[in-house]
Amino acid sequence: MAGAEISSGVCGFTTFVEATKDGRGRVVLTIESDCKAVQCLAEELSEVDALQEITFRGTGPLTMELAAKHLRHAACPVPVGIVKTVEVAAGLALPVDVTIKLSSNS
């Protein structure tokens, strides 16, 4: 099992992701969020194919497809956080934090 807490930034919303490998190459997801759009995404994203989820080849990640359907902000970090959590749960990546540090010179 793997988990993530995703703080989305200026919107103030937090999303919690839990991902569990099921032994058939699939990962079962539990996603809880303050964001209504992410809640709609979560309703459709309950299970993914682990290997398909980590590549843009073929049909690409289901997470990204559903994010395009439900989320309005392309820079929302939640979809990437979900994919990273899937990677860790499936044993395809180590549980190392990712960071984006923003600055403005204006």
Contact (CB, 8 A) for 82 and 29: yes
The domain ranges of the chain are 2-89
* Average pLDDT over the chain, rounded to an integer: 95
Reported pTM? 0.94
pLDDT of residue 25: 87
pLDDT of residue 64: 97
Name 88's Cβ contacts closer than 8 Å, sequence gap at least 6: 2, 19, 94, 95
CATH annotation of 2-89: 3.90.1010
Residue 106 has pLDDT above 80, yes or no: no
Structure confidence by residue, pLDDT tens digits, 51-103? 999 999 988 999 999 999 999 999 999 999 999 999 999 999 999 999 999 99
